[in-house]
Each structure stands twice: as C-alpha cells, then as structure tokens.
Amino acid sequence: MKSLHGVSHHRIQRQVTRCLLALLLLCLSCGPVFAAQVRTVLVLGDSLSAAYGLSAPQGWVALTAQRMKTSHPGWRVVNASISGETTAGGAARIDRELTRVKPSVVVIELGANDGLRGLSLAQSRANLDRMLRAASMAKARVLLIGMRLPPNYGPEYTQGFERMFVELAKKHQASLLPFLLEPIAADRNAFQADNLHPVAAAQPKLRDHVWKPLAPLLR
C-alpha cells in the first residue's frame, strides 16, 4: 500500500508541475502581446498638418510622433491629414478612419480651407460637430485646433469663424487650441512663398504649441 500511495503521490506532483509549467508558458506567451498594445493619436487635418511643401518628417505631426517615442512610448501617431481638406471632407471620412485606426485621441485640425473659401459657417460648424460627435462615440478624447482668418474677410465672418471652434469645444467638452499658427503668425520668415504654409524651421514651434494641450490627453 505504501508503494501504491507513493506512486499516486508522484503522479499528483507531476500533474501539478505540468499545470504550473503550462501556466508559466501561457503567461510568457501573453506578455509580448500585452506589451505590443499601443494607443493611437489620430490627426485629421489639412495641408498645415500634412507638411505641405516639406518632406513628411519635417512637419509638426511627425515631430510630435518623434517626441512621443521618448516621452510616451506606449503611443503612436497616425497622420491622416490631406492637403486641401475641408471640414466636409473630414466629416465624410472620419467614421472610416475611426474604424481603421481605433484611436484613443483624435486631433482635428480642419476649417482653414473653409474659411479661406468663404464657405458657410453654419455648414462648417455642422461638419465639425459631426466629427466631434463621432470621435466621442468612439470613446476617443479630442483636441480641436482652431484657426484665424485675415481681416479682409470682414469682422462678422472672421469673428464667427473663431467663435465656432470655441463653442464647439465647449459643447463637446473637447480640449481646444484656439490658433495653430499663433507662435509664428507675426513672422513673415516663418512662412513659405505662399505666405500660408510654415517653413521647416517653424515646425518645432508648432509641435511645442500643440504639445501643451495634447500631452494631458495621453494619460
């Protein structure tokens, strides 16, 4: 009986050891998967975010991604900005981008082309409102980046344009950067020949400007 008992005891020990090894292997195999889970910042913008006239790595979005590799290694940036994009274009494709990227943070930098073309503020507001609602429904935090227009568009239009961003950010409880170009707006040398798009040397200033409201969202 002692020998039988001993055999039974050894069998139990072996079974327990196998279970522990299997559990250890499972944990080890899952480890890299968990480590590889990276959260995403999706940028939906126009030429100001698409590095118009520059190489892509020179733009403020790419510079932000570089900074995040060091400061927030669990994050990445997907730049879905398109030169010439309007709020209508952004509203038409945001659902597709949200599904494709599954971002934790969405940066919306659109509206400048609407304003420069004198498009309806009501329609621009409706388009941005749709984008903000879509991002919110996707459980993403939002940074809305605003723009200002030259005074030749008239006080009613320019003031309404600026107010649109403020009111929408408040309505959707989104973070707001009122004016993307604020750090360089008064410096003609910071712009390309078209006097609209910043040069490469100005991009780090834009990165730092955007970083202030963006960093708190990377929690």
Contact 190, 199 (CB under 8 A): yes
Q: Which of the following is catalytic: 47, 49, 81, 124?
A: 47
- Structure tokens, 86: 């309007």
pLDDT tens for residues 94-112? 999 999 999 999 999 999 9
**174 secondary structure, DSSP code:** -
Domain extents in the chain: 1-37, 38-217
197 belongs to the catalytic site: yes
Q: Which of the following is catalytic: 49, 124, 197, 209?
A: 197
Whole-number pLDDT of residue 22: 58
Q: Which of the following is catalytic: 3, 5, 55, 194?
A: 194
209 belongs to the catalytic site: no
pTM of the model: 0.84
pLDDT tens for residues 115-156? 999 999 999 999 999 999 999 999 999 999 999 999 999 999
- Compute the distance between CA of residue 138 and CA of residue 192 in angstroms, rounded to an integer: 37
Which CATH superfamily does the domain covering 38-217 fall into? SGNH hydrolase (3.40.50.1110)
Q: How confident is the model at residue 11 (pLDDT cuts 50, 70, 90)?
A: low
Q: Which residue in 160, 80, 59 sits closest to 114, CA to CA?
A: 160
**81 secondary structure, DSSP code:** -
5 belongs to the catalytic site: no
Contact 159, 138 (CB under 8 A): no
- Compute the distance between CA of residue 190 and CA of residue 83 in angstroms, rounded to an integer: 19
Q: Which residue in 174, 164, 163 sits closest to 214, CA to CA?
A: 174
Mean pLDDT of all residues in 60-81: 97
